[in-house]
Amino acid sequence: MATNPEELKRAFDRELNITDFRLVWEKAGVLAGRWDSIGILLGISYKKLYEIESETKTARGCLQKVFDCWLSRNYDYKSHGVPTLRMLCNSIKSNSGGADLALAIEIAKEYAINLTSSGKATTSPVDTSSK
């Protein structure tokens, strides 16, 4: 069980993949109305976002496809980075993305609490400073 800041950092920077879809959807599915902004911050190309929009009828469906694309590394991950919980939280808190700092912190705290034996997060993957 992770109990120190270095172990938590590794956990938040662990590469996510399609098997983590449920974790991502459960936490960030509420942001369907900002699916395109989230997609941009996760590194999905405009071309791919237009393709998703033309194929999908609902914002919820679009966000599902964005997460599928991101977790499947169907984007330029070499330039934007591989999918991580830190990347997700930072896109959620961004004014250009989900603009939901409280949700990003909630995800970080819940994940950190699940990783620590003491039940207290020892570090946060989310930069809470104003930008």
Return the sign of the alpha-carbon dihedral for residues 22, 51, 83, 96: negative
Question: If pLDDT is split at 50, 70 and 90, which confidence band does 40 have?
Answer: very high
Statement: residue 122 has pLDDT above 90: no
Q: Kindly state the tokens that stand for 91.
A: 């896109």
Question: What does the domain layout of the chain look like in residue ranges?
Answer: 20-115
Cα–Cα distance measured from residue 99 to residue 92, given in angstroms and rounded to the nearest whole number: 6
Question: If pLDDT is split at 50, 70 and 90, which confidence band does 66 have?
Answer: very high
Residue with tokens 């599915």: 29
Cα–Cα distance measured from residue 43 to residue 11, given in angstroms and rounded to the nearest whole number: 21
pLDDT at 79: 93
- CATH class for the region spanning 20-115: mainly alpha
Statement: residue 124 has pLDDT above 70: no
Cα–Cα distance measured from residue 3 to residue 116, given in angstroms and rounded to the nearest whole number: 5
pLDDT at 131: 44
More confident residue, 44 or 99: 44
Statement: residue 116 has pLDDT above 70: no
CB atoms within 10 A of CB 1: 8
Question: What value does the mean pLDDT of the chain take?
Answer: 82
Residue 94's nearest CA partner among 48, 44, 130, 46 is 130
Statement: residue 127 has pLDDT above 60: no
Residue with tokens 């069980």: 1
Statement: residue 117 has pLDDT above 90: no
